[in-house]
Structure 1
Amino acid sequence: MTGAVVGLLLSSGLLLTASGWSRTRRPSLEQRLAPYVRDVHPYAVTPGRPRGVVDAVFGPSVRRAGRAVGDLLGGSASVSRRLVRLGSVTTVDDFRIRQVLWGAGGLAAAIVVSAYLWSERGTSVPVLLVICGVGFASGVLWCDNNLSSRVTAHERELLAEFPVVADLLALAVAAGESPVAGLERIMKVCHGVLSDELARVVADIRTGTPMAQAFDGLAVRTGVTSIARFAEGLAIAVERGSPLVDVLHAQAADVREAARRELMEAGGRKEVAKMIPVVFLILPVTVVFAFFPGYVGLHLTSGM
């Protein structure tokens, strides 16, 4: 076991040394052109240097592994769409690197388990390799599932905040303010994920983006049907001058009704789940308490 660990460390060091030497011997195209372009174009970006020893040694390998995981799993469009719906600034490449790190954590745990099985029970090497592969794949898939769960929680927060925001905007518009001014007023009193999305819409409008296009961007980013209808209604109202107050009140009422219906459905599912301990635990104990004294009495009577 000691010899195997020493050999693994030695081979890893040799591989890192060879890969670092090959990278320094063959600079990238960006590194070769940057000195000539920097004087001509003042905004040319200088190739970034590694932020530390760890990034210099392991950074390129982790990035290549992230690209390999992305090519193997595919679904880069799905990851990009979920990151946009989450409102995250993380890029797809950064997420792939995070997946590799999560996979490395799963691989480390699998290696510990494999070392125990090998030393204590003498498990065969193919089985240990399968355990290591399963550990790496579990870490990668767990990272992807974590992203999906975060997107789902984010959309639930958007739906929970939407009725209040729609009612406040309807009151502001009914008082004579424009939709943009109403959104700015809402941003001052509301704090949450939906207010952050509306602040982004207002920022886009202030920087010159057409109002309808900014609201369409909100509909595309969120991925929630109710908020998409809300953004489309605002865009149509701004473009055509249609009444907005009744539409906002109706949308808020629809979202509240949908939330109430979902709560009733969840309660119905929980009610079925509650029957399991009643039928298999409480009811048998009640039957035992009801019949056990009679059984004991019959036993004593027959004994006499």
Structure 2
Amino acid sequence: MNDAAPPRRIWLCADDYGLSPGVNRAIRDLIERGRLNATSVMVVGSAIGRAEITALQAAVASSPRCSIGLHATLTAPFRPLTMHFQPLEGGMFLSLPKLLRWGLLRRLDPEIIQAELMVQLAAFGDLFDRAPEFVDGHQHAQLFPQVRDAFLRAVKQAAPNAWVRQGGRRQPLARRLGMPKALLLDVLSTQFRRRASRADLTFNPGFAGAYDFSQRPDFGTLMGQFLDGLPEDGLIMCHPGFVDETLVSLDPLTDHREHEHAFLASEHFPRLMAANRVTLF
């Protein structure tokens, strides 16, 4: 590597702001420390009141550069903002596996999905008095067949200057075979990128951050792998948080969030970034 080359600039985005008070506090803490430069907000989350938005805006104001985007949400246990959204189970969105299956079978109604996303985009505008700087999707649902078309149309209509998240790393196939989750995201992202390009929407050129949450890997080791080969403008997603009752009731990802926060708040993280000649925007 050429030591004279400038460091690569990347996005490090904390997903799920609005999921729970503990998640919100952890994200704000990292923003204030300068350890994040993006977070995406769930407008259907249980911790998305005015006080939480004001606290986020105050944290961002103290940071040299931090973007706020919409975390479009279409999976259970969350509920739609539109009255006539279908399909539902028990008044909630479908589970992640069912949503993917229905999309693959062409059983979804993209117009209904687009209407829901338009309302979520409008809700973001009401909270922040502006459109989101970027739009991504909870559990990567924006990449699914049929969902992606509705997602891209909604963003193009309501936030045409926002960039959108794709989940492909474009690594050699032999390397991806050992990471089934990352491989699936890469496959789904191929069509997403093509459609986003046709819609003249910008997207991140590289992506990292997916790992098997059923395991307990060392997050510092994972972060080194995420940084390896990530291009300029690439994005790493993360899920820092402090565990609270709300989080436990809504999401199976609990202790991992505290491990992620602990590493990102530590001095090991900036040393790892420097060793890889990577910096945040």
Give the TM interval when normalised to the shorter protein.
under 0.3
Which structure has more RCO (C-alpha within 8 Å, separation ≥ 6)? 2
**Structure with the largest fraction of strand:** 2
Give the TM-score normalised by the residue count of structure 2. 0.19
**Structure with the largest fraction of helix:** 1
Larger Rg computed on CA atoms: 1
Give the TM-score normalised by the residue count of structure 1. 0.18
